[in-house]
Structure formats: structure tokens, C-alpha cells
A = this chain, B = another copy of it.
Amino acid sequence: MTTESTVEAAVGREAEGLCFSVFGRACPSRHVLKDITHAWGSLTLAALRDGSFRFNELRRRVDGVSEKMLSQTLQALERDGLVHREAQLTNPPRVDYRLTELGHEVAERLYELISLVEARMPEIEVAQRGYDRTHS
């Protein structure tokens, strides 16, 4: 699983029309990957791992996201079937967002990635300082 070839096999299978490959320029899966890996997309999905949240709760959790970007991000993720939006037409209105089953699977993998990055940050900062030193 971890040693199989990434690109050739995928592109080959995609060319045969048997599957999707993000490496293909026009493959729809690339748009979805972009929705997810877009900075706000990944943070929003990761934030939703903990449960169901209202709009402004999410906004506080994803520190620094603007209203507009969170709104756009949630729409893209909802469209891809990763996030479920539940609106109650009360006054004041209440809208809850939570992950779908698929969204949960994606968020888990994203979280593994985020955890790794966070855990290795000291090492990464050393690399950055070394790079900045030698590349003036």
C-alpha cells in the first residue's frame, strides 16, 4: 500500500476511463482535492472533527478566517458532500454544520497530516533557518 507507484498507475487507469487521478489536469478529483486542501477547507474540516458547530462557533475555532471565506468554504464542502448543513428557521436563526460520513473519513486523514506537521514543527523550523541562512 505504501510502496505502490503514485502517478503512472493512476494516470494509466484514468486514461482507460477506469478511475480518477488528481494528477490529471482536467480530472474532477483535482477540484475536490483543492476544496479540501485549500487552507480554510482543511482547517474547517479538521475543526468539525469534534462535532457539530454553529457558524460563529466555527469562525472562532478556525482562528483568522473571515466571514466570507468561511461561508464560501462551507458551501464548497457542502457541495462535495463532506459537510452537512442543518438550518432551523427560528428567530433568531440557528444553523449547525457537521461532517458527513465521508467528510469524517476525509477529516481523519487530514488530521493525521496536521498532527504530523505539528509534531515535527521543531525540525521544520530548523530546516527553514538553515535554508534562509544559505539562500540569503
Contact = CB atoms under 8 A, between A and B. Distances in A.
A47 B11 CA distance: 11
B23 A62 contact: yes
Nearest to A19: B118
A28 B38 CA distance: 17
Q: How many protomers of this protein does the assembly include?
A: 2
B128 A47 contact: no
Interface string A12-45: 0000000111111100111011101111001100
Given A25-B63, A47-B6, A81-B128, A113 B110 contact: yes
Given A37-B37, A50-B6, A62-B23, A29 B121 contact: yes
A47 B28 contact: no
Interface string A118-134: 10110111111011100
Contacts of A110: 113
Interface in A89-114: 102, 105-106, 108-114
Given A10-B118, A124-B32, A23 B63 contact: yes
